[in-house]
Amino acid sequence: MGRMELVFAEVEERGVQSAEKTVIQAVHKELFIDGKWRASSTGRSLPVEDPSTGEVLCEVADAGVEDGLAALDAAVAAQKDWAAYAPRERGEILRRAYQLLLDRADDLALLMTLEMGKPVAEAKGEITYAAEFFRWFAEEAVRIDGGYATAPNGQGRFLVMRQPVGPCLLITPWNFPMAMGTRKLGPAIAAGCTVVIKPAEQTPLSMLALTDILAEAGLPAGVLNVLTTSDPGPVMEPLIKDGRIRKISFTGSTAVGKILLAQAADKVLRTSMELGGNAPFLVFDDADLDVAVEGAMMAKTRNMGEACTAANRFYVQRGVAQEFGRRLTSRMAELKVGRGTEEGVKIGPLIDNDAIAKVVELVADATAAGAKVLTGGSTVDGPGHFYPPTVLTDVPRDARMGREEIFGPVAPISVFDTEDEVIAAANDTEFGLVSYVFTTNINRALRVSERLEAGMIGLNTGLVSNPAAPFGGVKQSGVGREGGRIGIEEFLEVKYVAVGLS
């Protein structure tokens, strides 16, 4: 019986009240290095808080530099054998882990809600989404191909092969604690790379639970090494500069992404960077307003707005602006705010006090510049870090929230008149992750999609994320793509053999 199966049995015996404690108890709190759980060499631990109460849920090991290097040694030692595993075997491990994730989705969702705050139903959606990366890359593991071609002058042959990049360093954020992990681990494992992974300090428990699942699915020792730490810079930098890590895949803020890119330059590492966003959400006069409002709810309220893909700026054409604002306000105002474990809650707490302070500051800046509050707009009493669903209208284009990620459930609306005007406004940002466009005119849909500077477009939809599609941004939103056919390429090197043929 696996650890989580034990949990189910215990929950039945002791009743649902103890379910929260039980899922937390079931998770290992140590570091995972070379196939073994072990204490941190620092002897320190770091607290994991419930953002809906501010209470400490548990403590996990706090890795230091020595632990980081031990994890690197293990990943490097395992690389050769892992690369030689049959692709089908690598795929089968991922397939088993996919199934285990689904089998344990209820417990894993509760665990995620406790450490991160999102409503349990959303957390369960993330577990399914996360599992799909393993299914997708289980299938891709056996499709790593190469090429054979005749040289243009007919005198030789070209042989092209794809090989694992080598040991990888993966660093993930707190907002999607499971899916951001599987989105990187899936292709790395499928490609035959070993990894050191560092989850966010605020949400380590989901990754620790996933580690158990991958071990149970048969991942050999040393392929996956997990470090939790309160000191990411000093622990990660020696790994990046060591020279044996061959790739960094990072998801997080643009500011930290830039630091890592600079560090990666030292040893010319391959890099994938999934960074911040500032998504514009365009609604044209000819849009189906029901579809647009539904899309807005998805793009704004999913994950309490704490998503890189969150709609950050709503631009609505004059003819439908008032009606769109009215409908969005009525939908936002009816959302229940509360602890993610409570029935019917749609908006959980934000991650911490800093997140609340930032939202408060941005809303104050916009209202001082003339924005009007249609709903929400003021903080909710603690404990916990709650902010109510908020709609602002008449938001000036130069308000701070037009340039910075809000990362909260706040929808700022401004009105536009022409297509050229709105495209210029939408593109006026250093970010370029995703843009949303709502129109029923096919010509406009394609024209605008081509002109928007973004790695992804949501065309009449508020959700772009899909494990089978290439996810990623342009400009300062990142480098590289995750998911889709291209996702595994990020973990493969191309080797070309020039064949002399007589």
Among 276, 409, 432, 484, binds ligand NAP (CB under 6 A): 276
Among 23, 223, 227, 433, binds ligand NAP (CB under 6 A): 433
Q: Does 405 bind ligand NAP (CB under 6 A)?
A: yes
Q: Does 174 bind ligand NAP (CB under 6 A)?
A: yes
Half-sphere exposure of 241 (CA within 13 A, CB side): 11
DSSP reduced 3-state for 230: coil
Yes or no: say if 245 and 491 are a contact pair by the CB < 8 Å rule. no
Q: Does 259 bind ligand NAP (CB under 6 A)?
A: yes
Q: Does 107 bind ligand NAP (CB under 6 A)?
A: no
Residue among 348, 249, 295, 285 nearest 464 (CA): 295
Give the residue with the Cβ less far from ligand NAP, 182 or 202.
202
Among 49, 67, 106, 274, binds ligand NAP (CB under 6 A): 274
Question: Cis peptide before 412, with omega less than 30 degrees from 0?
Answer: no
Binding mask 181-220 for ligand NAP (x = CB under 6 A): -----------------x-xxx------------------
Q: Does 308 bind ligand NAP (CB under 6 A)?
A: yes
5 is catalytic: no
For residues 254 and 394, what is the distance between their CA atoms, to the nearest angstrom?
Answer: 28
Tell me the number of residues near ligand NAP by CB under 6 A. 28
For residues 425 and 403, what is the distance between their CA atoms, to the nearest angstrom?
Answer: 11
Among 402, 478, 483, 487, binds ligand NAP (CB under 6 A): 478
- Residue closest to ligand NAP (Cβ): 252
Among 71, 110, 256, 426, binds ligand NAP (CB under 6 A): 256
Q: Does 236 bind ligand NAP (CB under 6 A)?
A: yes
- CB neighbours of residue 265 within 10 Å: 11
Q: Does 112 bind ligand NAP (CB under 6 A)?
A: no
With a CB cutoff of 8 Å and minimum separation 6, the contacts of 244 are 72, 76, 166, 167
| Distance of closest approach, residue 351 Cβ to ligand NAP, in angstroms | 8
| Distance of closest approach, residue 499 Cβ to ligand NAP, in angstroms | 40
| Distance of closest approach, residue 310 Cβ to ligand NAP, in angstroms | 8
**Contacts (CB under 6 A) with ligand NAP, residues 288-307:** none
Q: Which stretch binds ligand NAP (CB under 6 A): 96-104, 152-160, 231-239, 377-385?
A: 231-239
Among 54, 87, 232, 396, binds ligand NAP (CB under 6 A): 232
Give the residue with the Cβ less far from ligand NAP, 61 or 256.
256
With a CB cutoff of 8 Å and minimum separation 6, the contacts of 364 are none
DSSP 48-81: EE-TTT--EEEEEE---HHHHHHHHHHHHHHHHH
Q: Of these residues, 49, 115, 140, 274, which one is catalytic?
A: 274
Yes or no: say if 133 and 467 are a contact pair by the CB < 8 Å rule. yes
State which amino acid sits at residue 59.
E
Half-sphere exposure of 147 (CA within 13 A, CB side): 10
Tokens for 115, please give them.
Answer: 């450490």
Give the residue with the Cβ less far from ligand NAP, 264 or 415.
264
Yes or no: say if 191 and 246 are a contact pair by the CB < 8 Å rule. no
Residue among 273, 207, 261 nearest 63 (CA): 207
Q: Which residues are catalytic?
A: 274
Q: State the residues that interact with ligand NAP by CB under 6 A.
A: 171-176, 180, 198, 200-202, 232-233, 236, 251-253, 256, 259, 274-277, 308, 405, 433, 473, 478
